[in-house]
Copies of this chain bind each other. A is one copy, B any other.
């Protein structure tokens, strides 16, 4: 099942740390997102329904944990973009981003090191 943008904000909180109570999730996301309690509750419910999150009963509340790993999510999103826009080829993606001119020297250095490592 597909995870929406708003839902992914909740997932990020759970990937950072889990399990979490809904209260803890809210305290993490309500600030930056300016959401009310109700909004976050619904996002959590939808994620549970989508089986991206499990709810373990803990007394009267639930403890939520991700079922979908960040790794898998990120992999899917990245590969999807790559396939959709660059015919699955990595070099054109990197080229585009480097032309956007937002790469720091550090980015380039890291990338260089990484490519060395992959290449061998």
A residues near B, CB below 8 A? 8, 71, 74-75, 77-79, 81-82, 84-86, 88-91, 93-100, 102-103, 107-108, 110-112, 114-115, 118-119
Interface of A is mostly: helix
Measured CB to CB, the closest approach of chain B to A110, in angstroms, equals 4
Measured CB to CB, the closest approach of chain B to A86, in angstroms, equals 8
How many of these chains are in the complex? 2
A103 and B85 contact, Cβ closer than 8 Å, known pairs A97-B90, A111-B94: no
Q: Which of A79, A94, A110, A119 has the most CB of B within 10 A?
A: A94
A79 and B102 contact, Cβ closer than 8 Å, known pairs A74-B96, A96-B74: yes
A95 and B114 contact, Cβ closer than 8 Å, known pairs A77-B81, A90-B107: yes
